[in-house]
Amino acid sequence: MSYTLINNGTLINGTGGTPIKNAAVLIEDDLIIAVGPEESVKIPDSDVNTVDAKGCFILPGFIDAHVHLMTDDFGREETIYTPLSLYFYNAIERMQRTLNAGVTTVRDAGLADVGIKLAVEKGIIIGPRMQISIAPLSITGGHFDFMLNSGFDIKPMYPGYPDGIADGPEEVRKAVRKIMRAGAEVIKVMVTGGIISANDHPEYPQFTPQELNVIVEEAGYRNLQVFAHAHGKQGLINAVNAGMNSIEHGTCIDDECIGLMLSNETYLVPTLIAMKINKERALDETSDIPDWSRDDSIRMEGIHEKNMKKAYKAGVKIVMGTDSGVVPHGRNLEELGYLYEIGMDPMEAIIAGTKRAAESLGWEDKIGTLEEGKLADLVISRKDPLKDIKSLGNPDNILMVVKDGRIVKNLI
């Protein structure tokens, strides 16, 4: 049994309440056992490791609801020349960047397998807590079908990573079962084309309503959520009607979609940073972005930002997610600044990356806020994020990161 006391800081606990100055957080092993004004926290008689926050700002560990830890840029040529084992070694450094940015929990939206998750849980490597989807479901010729019209299929395949391509209700049912057998804790579905797809465009709907109903049914037998990559309107509507938990990207969301999402309490993960960076790369003629995705990247970003503002104003439940892996890992909390730009105040943006993100993952009883009984995940920020939310996007301002009661970054 070990104790850590973090004191002399301003507490922003993730619930949206008034910040508490001169606050303290008392940790026993991996759990928060007391939190609040310093004078209200009773210090045990046992040895206590005391961390002086030096007047800085104590927040919950952030949650990124959309990452791809196993890749960094989705370069298609990379999959041809990279030995399979190198993906796993490279993921170690990406996970460290993620932690250094202040993100202690991620939902991996495709490619990370159960071995990566177990390596972190067993302490073999250091990384964020994960909720994994293993392999996204895609139709033939869809957003996660990497077969090129040259005849080459450049998607890595190996035991523990089943093929998610399926067509028709029975193929889809079997694919979901294989992915769950591989250890998936959540099911990812490509219900539209993608911006960086070789074989489709982002507006195209993918999977029939019947197929989507089968996916949700099968996942429901194991009490697993389903979340949907969706750019185009029809695919988004199909996903919400099927009962999926969240929409990723949501580019072409309109009033009809918003009404459905509000009625179904569907979450929205905008991945604003990914849309911004894809557009920047597309406008740069020297970048390596494929020519067939340049027009989509430029065109869709403007539509996306306008519609995210509309969704926020309407009250859709928005969650922080970045699509890191498509964009560089370690820039995760820049997303909070983009949430601010679509209309959120700084506290709302923080909640989108903490309390609400935990709720969207179904882990609100464990993480997302600094409260007694929760896992001890927290960050200490050099600057006041309520005055400058964009400051959190600079990892140099994240002075300390604690995950499960263990200090994994310390610049104090």
73 with 41, same domain: the answer is no
Decide if 358 is inside a domain: no
Residue 375 contacts residue 366 (beta carbons within 8 Å): yes
Residue 136 contacts residue 128 (beta carbons within 8 Å): no
The pLDDT score that the predictor gives to residue 80 is 77
Mark which of 332, 361, 387 sits at the end of a domain. 332
DSSP string, 49-116: EEEE-TT-EEEEPEEEEEE-TT-SS--HHHHHHS-HHHHHHHHHHHHHHHHHTTEEEEEE-SS--HHH
SS3 317: strand
132 with 267, same domain: the answer is yes
What are the backbone angles phi and psi of residue 89, rounded to the nearest 5°?
Answer: -65, -40
Q: What is the CATH number of the domain that holds 381?
A: 2.30.40.10
26 with 114, same domain: the answer is no
Mark which of 332, 354, 379 sits at the end of a domain. 332
CA atoms within 13 A on the CB side of 205: 13
The pLDDT score that the predictor gives to residue 77 is 66
140 with 44, same domain: the answer is no
Catalytic residue, chosen from 188, 317, 355, 374, is 188
- Nearest Cα neighbor of 378 from 366, 387, 370, 390 is 370
Task: Please state, in angstroms and as integers, the Cα–Cα distance from residue 175 to each residue in 144, 165, 244, following that order.
Answer: 14, 7, 17
Structure tokens at 68: 């791809």
Active site residue 323: yes
Cα(240)–Cα(243) distance, rounded to whole angstroms? 5
Write down the H helix ranges in 222-354: 233-242, 255-264, 272-283, 291-314, 334-341, 346-352
Residue 376 contacts residue 22 (beta carbons within 8 Å): no
Dihedral of CA 108/110/116/122: which sign?
positive
Decide if 353 is inside a domain: no
Mark which of 332, 349, 384 sits at the end of a domain. 332
Decide if 355 is inside a domain: no
252 with 323, same domain: the answer is yes
| Domain of residue 304, residue span | 62-332
The pLDDT score that the predictor gives to residue 257 is 98
Long-range contacts of the stretch 403-407 (C-beta < 8 A, 24+): 403/61, 403/99, 403/104, 403/128, 403/129, 403/376, 403/377, 404/30, 404/129, 404/375, 404/376, 404/377, 405/2, 405/4, 405/27, 405/28, 405/29, 405/30, 405/31, 405/375, 405/376, 406/30, 407/4, 407/51
99 with 247, same domain: the answer is yes
Please provide the size of the chain in residues: 412
Task: Please state, in angstroms and as integers, the Cα–Cα distance from residue 58 to each residue in 43, 260, 370, 389, following that order.
Answer: 19, 37, 9, 14
- Nearest Cα neighbor of 233 from 213, 253, 247 is 253
Task: Report the number of distinct structural domains present in the chain.
Answer: 2
Structure tokens at 247: 């929409």
The pLDDT score that the predictor gives to residue 198 is 67
The pLDDT score that the predictor gives to residue 74 is 62
246 with 142, same domain: the answer is yes
What are the backbone angles phi and psi of residue 327, rounded to the nearest 5°?
Answer: -110, 165
Decide if 363 is inside a domain: no
The pLDDT score that the predictor gives to residue 407 is 98
Decide if 359 is inside a domain: no
The pLDDT score that the predictor gives to residue 321 is 98
86 with 169, same domain: the answer is yes
- Nearest Cα neighbor of 109 from 59, 65, 61, 162 is 65
112 with 38, same domain: the answer is no
Q: What is the CATH number of the domain that holds 203?
A: 3.20.20.140
Pairing of strands 62-67, 103-108: parallel
Decide if 338 is inside a domain: no
Neighbours of 280 (CB within 10 A): 15
272 with 392, same domain: the answer is no
* pLDDT per residue of the chain (412 residues) written in tens, 0 to 9: 899 999 999 999 999 999 999 999 999 999 999 999 999 999 988 899 999 999 999 999 999 999 999 998 766 667 777 888 999 999 999 999 999 999 999 999 999 999 999 999 999 999 999 999 999 999 998 887 766 677 666 677 788 899 999 999 999 999 999 999 999 999 999 999 987 766 777 889 999 999 999 999 999 999 999 999 999 999 999 999 999 999 999 999 999 999 999 999 999 999 999 999 888 887 777 777 776 677 777 777 889 999 999 999 999 999 999 999 999 999 999 999 999 999 999 999 999 999 999 999 999 999 999 999 999 999 999 999 999 999 999 999 999 999 999 999 999 9
Active site residue 188: yes
Decide if 348 is inside a domain: no
54 with 173, same domain: the answer is no
Decide if 341 is inside a domain: no
55 with 118, same domain: the answer is no
The pLDDT score that the predictor gives to residue 369 is 98
Dihedral of CA 157/360/267/208: which sign?
positive
The pLDDT score that the predictor gives to residue 285 is 74
Catalytic residue, chosen from 64, 72, 113, 323, is 323
What number of H helices and E strands is found in the chain?
A: 12, 16
Q: Give residue 372's identity as a one-letter amino acid code.
A: E
Residues 6+ apart with CB under 8 A from 340: 346, 349, 389, 390
